[in-house]
Amino acid sequence: DNTASETEIVVLKPNFWKKTGAASMQFSQHAISDNWYKGGESTNALLGELKLTANYDDRQKVQFENSLEIKIGFITTPSDTVHKYKTNADLFRLKSKLGIRAIKNLYYTLAAEFKTQFFSNYKTNTNDLISNFLSPAQLDVSLGMDYKLNKKNYNFSVMGSPFSYTFVYINDKNIIDRSAFNVDADKRVAHMFGSKITSNLDWKICKNISFVSKFDFFTTYDKVIADWENTLNFQVSRYLSTKIFFHTRFDDGVNLTEENDSYFQFKEMLTFGLSYNW
């Protein structure tokens, strides 16, 4: 009995997409008595973060990286007689980067980043509007070469863009100082052309400690705008973490005043709370 048996062949298509997500809700609190010998005031702060990524890598020629980052934080303001709380973090950022391999770790790259905020922010003890939704809204587009190094415990990239364009839009006409966003006082938009260097580091120092750093240096050859964001994350348990965030900025395109007499700016936050990664 010659019976031919049929064998079903299953062909698995490779999945070149990798998707990740991270969310956290963290809290910080500072309490002192009214008669504390050095003065000060009690404050409470709440910070929520969400980051989603969808990255494509065919392991031959093409890499396509996408990320969405949302960060919203509020802090109580006892010394502000007009507002009970203010935002201490407010960010909506969408990034995409398309790379075509040139040689080994070097890619021809087109990158774009859009960012704005959700809520209004006012000057202390006044209703003077500093920033608002789409005020500013910023779009950065860069064309250049990207060097990438992916290892077991860290990912590093640095992109040099001889051709870079930044578009800034102020939607709200009530913004008190448009020059803070490199927009002329009598205008709602700004166009800036120049060169840009961007580096990113995602380093898993050990099982429960990680460090993420992002550095941007943009110049129009008339002005310089540099941002350096750093986050140190201590994963206490699967759902609990502590974060230290430090952000420095240099912008010599802003107008200096008695209140703002330096081109250097910084902000820092230390928070503890819930976190979840998937």
> Whole-angstrom Cα distance, residue 55 to residue 200?
15
pLDDT in tens, 9-25: 777 778 899 999 999 99
Higher pLDDT, 238 or 215: 215
CB 266 within 8 A of CB 248: yes
Both tokens of 96, joined, read: 């995409």
Q: Supply the pLDDT for residue 32.
A: 79
Q: What is the band of 169 on the pLDDT scale with cuts at 50, 70, 90?
A: very high
What type of residue sits at position 227? D
pLDDT digits (tens, 9 = 90+) for 84-131: 999 989 999 999 999 999 999 999 999 999 999 999 999 999 999 999
The four Cα atoms 180, 133, 66, 234 give a dihedral, to 10 degrees, of 80
Q: Give residue-wise pLDDT tens across range 223-276.
A: 999 999 999 999 999 899 999 999 999 999 888 887 778 899 999 988 999 999
- What local confidence, expressed as pLDDT, does residue 260 receive? 77
120: Cβ–Cβ under 8 A, 6 or more apart, which residues?
Answer: 129, 131, 132, 133
C-alpha–C-alpha distance, residues 161 and 142, integer Å: 6
User: Average pLDDT for residues 180-209, to the nearest whole number?
Assistant: 96
Please state, in angstroms and rounded to a whole number, the distance separating the CA atoms of residues 191 and 139.
Answer: 10
- Residue 3 confidence (pLDDT) above 60: no
pLDDT at 33 over 80: no
Mind listing the pLDDT tens digit for each residue in 46-90? 999 999 999 999 989 999 999 999 999 999 998 899 999 999 899
Average pLDDT over residues 130-143: 97
Q: Is the pLDDT of residue 217 over 70?
A: yes
> Chain centroid to CA 94: how far?
9
Q: Please give the pLDDT value at position 38.
A: 57
d(CA 193, CA 34) in angstroms, rounded, equals 52
Closest CA to 264 of 244, 276, 277, 248: 248
Confidence (pLDDT) at 56: 97
pLDDT digits (tens, 9 = 90+) for 247-257: 999 999 888 88
